[in-house]
Structures are given as C-alpha cells and as structure tokens.
Chains A and B, each alone.
Chain A
C-alpha cells in the first residue's frame, strides 16, 4: 500500500487528464452517453462518500438510500421556488441533519446492530412519507417542474464527485482521518487516547450524508415525477457493493467499483432487471467469501 502522502507524478497527471476529459465530455457526447456518464458520476460520489466514513471506522452503514432519498425529496419541495444550486444545498443540509440525529442515536451500536438500524431508517422514512403523502397531503408524489438543463445537472454532479474525492483524499492525510482509523481498530482505546470519538464519528457520518443528499438532490430533476419509492434500499446496497468490490479502505477502490458496477447497472437494470439484481446478490456473496482484500477496510485492522 502506497503511503497516502506520496502520490506518484504519473498518477497526478492521469487524474488531471481524467478531470479535464470529464469536464469536456458532456459537450461532445450524445445525450444517452452523457446521461450514462452522469449516472456513473453519481454512483462514484455515493461510493466514495460511503467509503470515507464506513471504510476506516468499519461502521457498516445501509443508510445511503435514505440520505439520497432525503436529498431528492428536498429538491422536489424547493425546486419551484428557488434558483438552481439552492435545492442541492437544501438536499445536502437535509441529509446531514438527518445523519446528525441518526448518528447521535445509533453510533453507539456496533456491528450488525448499526447496519440493521440504518437499513430500517430508509424503510421507516419511506413508509412514513407514503403515509404522510396519502393521509395528510392527499397526493402520492411530487411533480418536478422547470428542471435545470442537462449540462447544469452534469456539472453539478461532477462538482460533487470532485469534492467527495477531495474530501476522501484530505481525510486520509489528516489527524481526523487517523482518528477514524483508530476508531475502526479499537474504539475504546481511541477514546482512552483522548480522541473525541462521538464528535468525529457523527461529524464524518453527517459529512458523508451531505454528499449523498446532494447527489440525490442533483439527480432528482432527471425524473419529472417523484414519489416516496425514491427511498430505495437498492441504492444502499449498490453503494456498499460498489465500495467493497473496489476495496473500501482506498480512495481509488470505490471509484473503480462504482464505474464498473454503474456501467453494468445502467446497461442491465432496465433490460434484465431481475437477472441484474440476482447477479448483484451473487457478486456480494463472492466478494465476502473470496475477495477479502476488497473487504480490507471493514474486515481487517487497517495497516498503519
């Protein structure tokens, strides 16, 4: 494993070329390919922001779907009345607040309890919204009128992706990042060493949720109609699988995993929905059983 501080010049050059290509891409790509690129960028952002929290701390979060959904729903509520970047900020803020509350309550649960809790969170949010929409507002969903143009959406998501990757890189080099690794290795010892574990855990959880909410908010205008089904547990699982397939303790791992599975999902999900989801399940099983290196972050003490 390369020391986090020593990215090789070749890697830096490749990254710069990649970012430039991503910046130019939407002006030359056909609409279908542009929307494919957009979806993959969204997946990359979700996987990277999941991994910078769950990777080092080994808290297995299945709440990505809930944060994504919260962001999307926030957009649906404010899109009509505010200029563009505001809905994204609103989505990020909504998800972050949700994560703060959940984090305060749930982050003392370890192992599978935390995973179950976060999984239940998405379902609870979905069913409460369904109940609220049908019972109180008398609708089943929201129309998204006057969406911003496709280029605006693309650059918004690209911006979020770069920010998330930047955050993940910065965390690896910072004291904050080492504290996260310490929490994953032995939380009580970390506490004894004077690390404010609660603040660091909840803060990072909320930061990761903010990115997920932002992505949800930026992706929502692509659908003209939104209902509570946007709180989709599939989003949570896809995010986890993408990060784990690539390796959750690295920054490059979730990116590669998301590109690979994002492509597969965009191509296969519509045509062969059930077969795709079936193979997603098989992939998860195979990764857990046979590719423990991909699981390094969650399953092993991270090397110093």
Chain B
C-alpha cells in the first residue's frame, strides 16, 4: 500500500511536471534569448486550449490531431507578434536596462488583450469535453488514459526540443546566441530572424501544452495566469536561460506539488506557488541550479 502511494505521487508528479516543463521551456527560450519576460505566456496556453476545444466540439476533430493545427498557428502568431511588437522595442537602441521593463509592460498589455478577447468570444462559462477518460491500471494504481497521453506528448516534445538544441546546427546557433549575443553576431548568425523563430517556438510550446490540458480540465479564459506563474517559478528555479534547468525544474515542481496536495489541502497549492516564487526571488535571484 505504501508503494502504491509512492507510485501514485511519482507518476502523478511526472504527469503534472511534464506539462510544466513544456510550458516553462517556451518561456525560458524567450527569456534566455531576448531577455523578454513574457507574462502573457499562459494566455497563449489558454488560446491553444480553446482552439483545440473549438476544433473538437465544432468540427469533431480528434484532440490529438489538433496539435497539428495549434502548433503552426501559434508559431505564426508568435513570429508576427515578435516582428510587430518586440523587434521594435529590441531594436529601439534604448539603454539596455530599460528593455526588460518595456517588454514586460508589452506582455502585460498582451495578457489583457488575449484574456478579454477570449472572454468576448467564448464567455466565462466552463467549457470542456471528454476524451480518452478510460482508466489505465499500472503498478497498483489507476490513471486516466488522457493524462498519460498528455504527459507523454509533453515530455516527448520537451526532451525532443532539448536534443534539438544540443545536436542541430540551428540549436547550436540558439545556444550561442544565449551565451554570447555579440559573438554570435560576429560569426554571422542572423539574430533578428532567430529571435523571431524562437519567440514563435516558445509560443507554440505554450499553445500545444494548452491543447493537451484541454483534454484534462474544463476551460475558462482565466486558466492562463496560474500557468504563467508556475512557469516563472520553474524558470527561476532552473535558472533564467538554462534550458536543461527548466526541464529538471518542471519535473521537480510537478513532484513537489503533487506530494504537497497529498500531504495538505489542494487550495494551499496556489499560495505555495506564489510563496515559492517570492522566496526564490529573494534568496537566489539567479536561479537555484545556476552555477
């Protein structure tokens, strides 16, 4: 019985953590590359979730197949937003110190726009559908199949992206740009184009995570912000700009949270995530796992 509980927490934690990792990776990619702290990140998750919901509910599309729509649409939107908003701020040649604050304000503006656009289109009512809610027995405990599928896809994408960063030429360019922006420019990396691509990729990851989440929970236009906060915690936990750190941090936070919910009540979860965020900011502003 004790083993079953342990397995329960472990797998439950990995399921939550896998999704956290995917959301946090996207956020960290944007921050690591451009020093853009995108607080509208969770709103793209919310938009992805609603896109999947609409495609499934209105046209009967398979929720998993909608990822093939969500990802490119979100990527395109991200590239466009980068060009219209962030590229202009980044190129404005202002003092380096003011860039983070300006891009932060931009993303708060985006948050308002996206959340209220969603409220106008879908209203504040709960929306949801049932997909793959079949119980799967494994290792003495039971999990719904949709959670396993969602977590599997999220983990696959996160690890896949990590491998892409380590192995491919583009991945190397991205890492070079994170570590040494001026040096990267010198060796002929097209910085603005790569920024756009990475911003789009980050948003696509968030939206895909949203599509996966729509299979598990009911949606409201307000689901985005809590995920932004969680992603911030993970990113700060793992170190800003540290991709492997986000991956590990996401899984760790998923485990800790699941264990905490078992140990205490679930309404403490929100308090805990803000408290952890505040604590980390005070104690280790450069990240727990940073060198």
Contacts and interface: CB of A to CB of B under 8 A. Distances in A.
B246 to A, nearest CB: 16
B102 A288 contact: yes
Which among B39, B109, B111 has the greatest number of chain A C-beta atoms within 10 A?
B109
Interface of B: 37, 39, 85, 88-89, 92, 94-95, 97-98, 100-102, 104-106, 108-113, 115-117, 119-120, 229, 232, 267-268, 270-271, 274-275, 277-278, 281-282, 285
B274 A281 contact: no
B275 A124 contact: yes
Contacts of A134: 267
A289 interface: yes
Given A111-B97, A282-B109, A274 B119 contact: yes
A115 B275 contact: no
Given A113-B281, A131-B271, A277-B116, A285 B110 contact: yes
Contact of A275 (B115, B116, B274, B285): B116
A98 to B, nearest CB: 13
Given A115-B104, A285-B85, A109 B285 contact: yes
Nearest to B113: A281
A275 B118 CA distance: 11
23 contacts: A106-B281, A111-B97, A116-B39, A117-B277, A120-B277, A124-B274, A128-B271, A131-B268, A131-B271, A237-B108, A274-B119, A275-B116, A277-B115, A278-B113, A278-B117, A281-B109, A282-B109, A284-B106, A288-B102, A288-B105, A300-B94, A300-B95, A300-B98
B27 to A, nearest CB: 12
Closest 9 CB pairs of A and B: A281-B112, A284-B109, A285-B109, A281-B113, A278-B116, A124-B274, A274-B116, A112-B100, A299-B98
A275 B268 CA distance: 33
Contacts of A60: 101, 104-105
A29 B277 CA distance: 47
Contacts of A106: 281-282
Interface string A112-146: 11011101110110011011001100000000000
B91 to A, nearest CB: 12
A158 interface: no
Contacts of B94: 292, 299-300
Given A109-B285, A298-B101, A124 B108 contact: no
Contacts of A282: 109, 113
Classify the interface of chain A: helix, strand, loop or mixed: helix
A240 B106 CA distance: 12
Nearest to A244: B105
A278 B113 CA distance: 4
Contacts of A120: 229, 274, 277-278
Contact of A237 (B112, B117, B268, B274): B112
A111 B275 contact: no
Contact of A112 (B104, B115, B117, B268): B104
Contact of A288 (B89, B111, B117, B278): B89
A123 B225 CA distance: 11
A285 B84 CA distance: 11
A295 interface: yes
A119 B117 CA distance: 22
A280 B281 contact: no
A93 B48 CA distance: 44
